[in-house]
Amino acid sequence: MGSFNGDSMDDFKGLRITQLDDDDDEETAMEPINIDEFDDDDEEDDEDYEPVTLGFVESPRFSWSNLRQLFPNLAGGVPAWLDPVNLPSGKSILCDLCEEPMQFVLQLYAPIPDKESTFHRTLFLFMCPSMSCLLRDQHEQWKRAPEKAMRSTKVFRCQLPRVNPFYSSEAPKHNGTDKPSGDGAPLCTWCGTWKGDKICSGCKSARYCSQKHQALHWRVGHKTECQQLRTVIETSDADAVNNGVALTQNQKVASKSLWKEFVVINEDESEYDTEMSGDDEMAKSLVSKREVDDQMKSLMNDFEGDADKKIWVNFQQRVAKAPEQVLRYSRSSGAKPLWPMASGRVSKSEIPNCKSCGGSLCFEFQVMPQLLFFFGGKNDRESLDWATIVVYTCANSCDSSLSYKEEFVWVQLYSQTT
């Protein structure tokens, strides 16, 4: 499984960490997008597209496929934190609207090889699973500084140099023998996502990121389990705190409401430019062509105005080449999101500057609505839904004192009538 960034677009699919003796190889730097040239008008008919890497999901092939020392690309389940110690904390892990911990959506390993501090670089996307919060988020995302927007969707960037306290400087072998350097912070027993900095007062072993998750775990069985754990700890030779941490780390995540876990594999979009035969296209798609055509006609009827219809046609034509894509990645200069609609797009004036360095942001990737299908989303008004989620990151991928720096995410929703 390769990274989503590299020296050139041709290297995306098979890129892995190079060996130390490869340092002398020539590398071509990626130029960040210039925000001043960001084109936010309604014209989307330019055929000179920037190269794009597509992301697809598949079930993990091995039990170790999602371990952090392999620098995986993941969707659903729990994150594999790049910096396993200095995790996001406090209000940054909460939906700003309902104030409950957000749920992990996906992570992308996207190193920038020409900069020492970004030898390892991963982007993490989280969101509140409540559609009502996402609808409120729609209004909040238009707010600009100095007024702080309240968001239900957040993205964090973490980066490390090649020599760091957590990983070997050698490339992983991907055979199940790779080990990290040291343990990470204990995680929440309920969600397995955020740091478990609150400890159950009974068993002293279960850890939680919030009182909400502690209450949920208690109701679904920890009340009984707590007494059992207390007995184990009391009869053990090890001290209660260390024994409790070990027990917690060996337990599976208690929550049953996390999205299904996948690994994300990547392919160049150009590989899908060749027209496939009808049989091959049907064999590769989970959704029949008739269903796609019927859905397209239905949505076309709901869109108001020629601009939305024109952009929707362009969107469908691009996506139809690989209908199961859940992600589109391109950090090359001039890259733009593929918008499903004209309404609800972000303009350059609405993209803030980097919170850390004050520099400009560039488009890096977008999440497609197809991911909801794989997550088992329901087709009703209360279920989570989006047209696309677009992520912009610091063009300089700047360093700061925080291990996880919050970047900018824009969510485009279908109209409520649609």
Q: Is the Cα dihedral 238, 241, 245, 248 positive or negative?
A: positive
* Residue 66 contacts residue 60 (beta carbons within 8 Å): yes
What global pTM score does this model have? 0.82
**Residue 157 DSSP SS3:** strand
Q: Which residue has the tokens 């360095």?
A: 357
Contacts of 271 (CB under 8 A, 6+ apart): none
Q: H/E element holding 307?
A: helix 306-319
Question: Domain-by-domain residue ranges, the chain?
Answer: 53-167+183-187+251-270+290-413
Report the pLDDT value the prediction gives residue 167, as an integer from 0 to 100. Answer: 95
Task: Please name the amino acid found at residue 394.
Answer: C
Burial track 283-317 (b if 16+ CB lie within 10 A, e otherwise): eebeeeeeeeeeeeeebeeebeeebbbbbbebbbe
Tens of pLDDT, residues 44-85: 444 567 899 999 999 999 999 999 999 999 999 999 999 999
User: Among 110, 2, 115, 60, which residue's Cα sits nearest to residue 261?
Assistant: 60
Question: What is the C-alpha separation between 118 and 394, in angstroms, rounded?
Answer: 12
Question: What is the C-alpha separation between 191 and 252, in angstroms, rounded?
Answer: 10
Report the pLDDT value the prediction gives residue 322, as an integer from 0 to 100. Answer: 95
Report the pLDDT value the prediction gives residue 15, as an integer from 0 to 100. Answer: 37
CA angle 157, 159, 162 (to 5 degrees): 165
Report the pLDDT value the prediction gives residue 134, as an integer from 0 to 100. Answer: 94
- What are φ and ψ of residue 410, in 5° steps? -120, 130
Q: Output helix, strand, coil percentages for the chain, rounded to the nearest 5.
A: 25, 15, 55
Give the up-direction half-sphere exposure of residue 324: CA atoms within 13 A in the CB hemisphere: 17
Residue 137's alpha-carbon distances to 90, 96, 98, 145, 216, in angstroms, are 20, 9, 11, 16, 25
Question: What is the C-alpha separation between 200 and 128, in angstroms, rounded?
Answer: 25
Q: Reply yes or no: is the peptide bond before residue 146 cis, omega within 30 of 0.
A: yes
Report the pLDDT value the prediction gives residue 157, as an integer from 0 to 100. Answer: 98
- What are φ and ψ of residue 232, in 5° steps? -60, -45
Report the pLDDT value the prediction gives residue 308, as an integer from 0 to 100. Answer: 77
Question: What is the C-alpha separation between 356 and 353, in angstroms, rounded?
Answer: 9
For helices 289-302 and 306-319, what crossing angle results, to 10°? Answer: 160
User: Among 24, 33, 30, which residue's Cα sits nearest to residue 7?
Assistant: 30
* Residue 3 contacts residue 109 (beta carbons within 8 Å): yes
* Residue 33 contacts residue 333 (beta carbons within 8 Å): yes
* Residue 323 contacts residue 369 (beta carbons within 8 Å): no
Residue 26 C-alpha from the chain's centroid: 30
Question: What is the C-alpha separation between 75 and 260, in angstroms, rounded?
Answer: 8
Tens of pLDDT, residues 270-311: 999 875 544 455 444 555 555 555 555 555 555 555 777 888
Report the pLDDT value the prediction gives residue 299, as an integer from 0 to 100. Answer: 56
Report H helices in 86-207: 131-140
Residues of the chain predicted below pLDDT 50 = 7-46, 240-241, 243-250, 277-279, 282-284, 416-418
